[in-house]
Amino acid sequence: MSRVTGGRKFARPRGYIHNYRPQKKTRELLAQAQKVLDEYRDYWPLTCRQVFYRMVGRHGYEKTETAYARLCHHLANARRGKLIPFEAIRDDGVISYNLGHFDDRDAFMDHVRRLAANYKRNRLTAQKVHMEVWCEAAGMLPQLYRVAEPYSIPVYSSGGFDSVTTKKWIADRICDIEKKAIILHLGDYDPSGVSIFDSVADDAAAFVIADRRHALISVEFERVTLTHQQVQENALPMSPPKSTDSRSKSWKGGTCQLEALPPDVIAGALNEAIERRIDRKQLIADLEAEDEDQQFVRSLMLELDSLGEPPK
């Protein structure tokens, strides 16, 4: 059994830490982290870096990568020790392919019933524009999904955003949708992030123009966050650009990570960008039609259940 006390590690933790007893300094650190989690509970899960930046801004926590690593270590142990809920923080990097397979016929029917019970229309279908949300920080996707889901707007992680495959994939999807597309992007304010965003916007647009079937198909990229203005307005902590980044030579001022912006501000900025583009009358009409659809689907499921078990 692993035992962790006072920051001294007797063995690398595996699974839960059943007798987790941090020292006073660690308890004080975790108390600050808990205040951040409580304040932004509506935006769970937060990333470790979001907690870090809130602690830097609100509690005077040291803004260094060493301090960040220390916080991540203690947050991980606190989750293993059940002091902090696992669902409060997201630090994953797993990509998976889910199988659409079922244990048996009954399992499939249960799946169909759940689909029917949760039926929703694609609220982008009748809109004049298609929208997508892309974010550099994969751990923030659940937060952004809660903002975008009511509009049926998909949310993607933009890791590998600059790859040719990704840019062609974006362009192909837009050409298939056959209308104007808006890509809402959230990323760091630094030379690489801004340069990659501009490059992807130009490259994907070029693919769309070359492959589109008619002139009504187009793509527009909008940088929702992080911008210089947002950095200034929110008095976010800045760091000098990396000397190893060749793009830094033409960069003026400091850099800042997206997760330095409070979660509620990020959600508000994304919601404003969506609302500015959405046709609200069409959205209301789709919601009304969705209610009618749900009644029809429920009646259909009742008829299906009344048929009973098919012969074996």
Q: What is the pLDDT, as a whole number, of residue 14?
A: 81
**CB neighbours of residue 275 within 10 Å:** 11
> Pseudo-torsion of CA 210, 211, 216, 218, nearest 10°?
-70
Residues forming a β-bridge with 133: 155, 184
SS3 category, 46 = strand
Q: What is the pLDDT, as a whole number, of residue 310?
A: 64
What is the dotted CATH code of the domain comprising 128-278?
3.40.1360.10
Phi, psi torsion values for 218, nearest 5 degrees = -155, 170
Annotated domain spans of the chain: 4-88, 128-278
Q: What is the pLDDT, as a whole number, of residue 242?
A: 81
Q: What is the pLDDT, as a whole number, of residue 2?
A: 45
Taking all residues of the chain, what is their mean pLDDT, rounded to a whole number? 89
Q: What percent of the chain has pLDDT over 90?
A: 69
**CB neighbours of residue 309 within 10 Å:** 7
Rounded distance between C-alpha atoms, residue 49 and residue 64, angstroms: 12
Q: How many Cα atoms within 13 Å fall on the side-chain side of residue 308? A: 2
Rounded distance between C-alpha atoms, residue 27 and residue 78, angstroms: 10
Q: What percent of the chain has pLDDT over 70?
A: 92
Q: What is the pLDDT, as a whole number, of residue 246?
A: 73
> pLDDT grade, residue 73 (50/70/90)?
very high
Q: What is the pLDDT, as a whole number, of residue 161?
A: 62
pLDDT per residue over 122-154, tens digit each? Answer: 999 999 999 999 998 888 999 999 999 999 999
pLDDT per residue over 75-105, tens digit each? Answer: 999 999 999 999 999 876 666 677 889 999 8
Place of tokens 């759940």: 114
E strand or H helix at 271: helix 263-277
Least confident of 130-144, 173-187, 194-208, 253-267: 194-208
| Residues 6 or more apart in contact with residue 255 via CB below 8 angstroms | 188, 189, 190, 191, 238, 239, 240, 241, 242
Closest CA to 77 of 182, 160, 97, 69: 69
- State yes or no: pLDDT of 1 exceeds 50: no
Rounded distance between C-alpha atoms, residue 75 and residue 12, angstroms: 15
Alpha helices, DSSP H, located in 40-104: 48-59, 65-80
Which comes out higher in pLDDT, residue 96 or 37?
A: 37
Phi, psi torsion values for 170, nearest 5 degrees = -60, -50
